[in-house]
Amino acid sequence: MDWVAELKGQTVGLDTAPLIFYIEEHPTYCPIVEPFFDAVARGELRVVTSTITLIEVLIHPLRKQDETLAHRYNDILLSSPGIHVASVTPTTAKMAAELRSRFNLKTPDAIQLATVVRHGATALLTNDRDFGSAPLKVLRLLDLARN
In the chain, the domains with their CATH numbers are 2-146 (3.40.50.1010)
Contact yes or no for 110/137 (Cβ under 8 A): no
Q: What is the pLDDT confidence band of residue 1, given thresholds at 50, 70 and 90?
A: low
pLDDT of res. 139: 95
pLDDT, tens digit (0-9, with 9 covering 90-100), for 79-107: 999 999 999 999 999 999 999 999 999 99
Average pLDDT, the chain: 95
Q: How far apart are CA 88 and CA 95, in angstroms?
A: 10
For residue 131, the model assigns a pLDDT of 80
User: Cα–Cα distances in Å, from 94 out to 75, 76, 145?
Assistant: 30, 28, 34
Condensed to tens digits (0 to 9), the pLDDT of residues 53-85 reads 999 999 999 999 999 999 999 999 999 999 999
pLDDT digits (tens, 9 = 90+) for 117-135: 999 999 999 999 888 778 8
Mean pLDDT of 4-21: 97
